[in-house]
Structure 1
């Protein structure tokens, strides 16, 4: 890699990346957990900030239909981070979103086999970056017995690096800020009881939230320790040196001349501004895990989160608050009783930073408890029945 080719998005670099379409990818640096041990589950839940006793209290979990501790659906981010961003050396990657489809729950001591294929590459243009690329990969999570647990679609934006720019200070639109009615005390009470809505009792137009989450440096550190460590960026010490000698995706620190990862922008306001994000900013996976926490709190112990498809639209800066809501938009029965929801997250400036959809399977008076795996673990039946 010559210096003039570093960080360049053009026909040559795009075609080099396209050569990997359909190719299984190596994932050793995307896996933090290979087994859902109780410690790994608890540490991940701590990283999200999710106190749900189903993820951590053996006595509580033993009284549920599951009989033992489960992992939150977002735990699979720690099994494979869903980041699929091959080639384009030196071109910044920004996590853009995930579509998750969970066929079954994740049980304590489950072991995983993961396969990943680079499936799509789209050229985009915009005012902010000019030409940029959206890369998509399909991640398949199977249990050791071969049964299908989950399929995910990970989306990553590859954007040219920008020099530090002066940002116009925003003013709070206080009259538009939602009233936060979901207090920490109420949240803890909800997760302790594990109350599950019955499918027949849910109505189109029902709203969950708003639920507020504030981003702090401490919460970012917690996410890294529970969900991913430093592996994505080459690890630490000798491991990092070896990684940086093999890869051209590291910037040169202009003050010291040392190679360093763009991930430093998550921990430092100065570095976050240097990579064009406006300050120290969140990890997109973490924000989606917050959405999943809201949904699992609402659906209770008996519900099953079937699908989440979330786009990360704007940076969430340290000190910002995100107000999440979910509105029921549809309910239907197709092998299982389903509810569809529209997800939205706004910051304190009333800007939409996060949006998407979700599907939850709920127990029903007419149909009984949710039967798993959904659609017998058959992806074809899923596509045929959920449109």
Structure 2
């Protein structure tokens, strides 16, 4: 089987993992790795090829539920069973219930409100001449949108940002546990308040009321878990889509100029941003319940498997010259939002927010430029993004 490759041995892995992925891909599409500390710890099997990753995302032998191996994560223990840790038929049931409430029409109806929130944030930010784009724009925009969509009352942004960061990029085990306890208490109180209130036209209220034809509905624990995954995943990916997208444009002035000259390129530019520096580096864990051959490599039963979404986006077999950022590239086929049963439910909302945010920012800040280093990357193997993006205009 060979010795596991220690990703912590690569000094610049968090800041720039792509050369490491290229080196691994040259040896083969599947590798046993030791995850970098402190955010991650332990061993996993990492899939780095595009076609192999795409196939793994729909492989029923790679299960999502850790319970099938006899253990559970903090999210399941403290919050409940959500979409990212279930398999059919349980996953099918949960997804069908939330899809009833989270419709394409509901997402599209948000367009004017997203534009208004965007404009208000830019009104507050632009007079200052410089800002941390994450703190002032990329974070509050999707957080405000998802909170309004779910019907979450105003929450302390700094407090929630702390909790969200600790969930998706934990600093240590103790902090991660304490944050899950805090978040679970908040969500359960929120749902009880919703139940006791008059019916409202928000997504969380709709999920409380939603009933399938056979009378099935979400249990209290399932509601809490659904609120958790929609609230965290519903803003975290979009924060980093916007911030990393702007960062890529500012690092490639020719591409920024091309987009400013022709805004019809915006849709394709967002897809290239997702491919080039997508917000999710690796899909959440999958597990082998028995010895399983993946791309010619036998992964032992009981193993954790990471499907490399970022690595797949830089596979030259699928995307020629993958390290070149090109907004005119046909980036369709990327798997930044996953693939198959677990394809991101909120992908249309993230794309809509990203396009509105980028168009409005570029329109209103024609001299936008970096105002210092943007290299404080979030730790861990899940979320890819910078903690701050200093800009001026």
TM-score > 0.5, shorter chain as reference: no
Give the shorter-chain TM-score range.
under 0.3
TM-score by length of 1: 0.24
TM-score by length of 2: 0.24
The structure with higher relative contact order (CA 8 Å, sep 6+) is 2
The structure with more strand, counted as a fraction of residues: 1
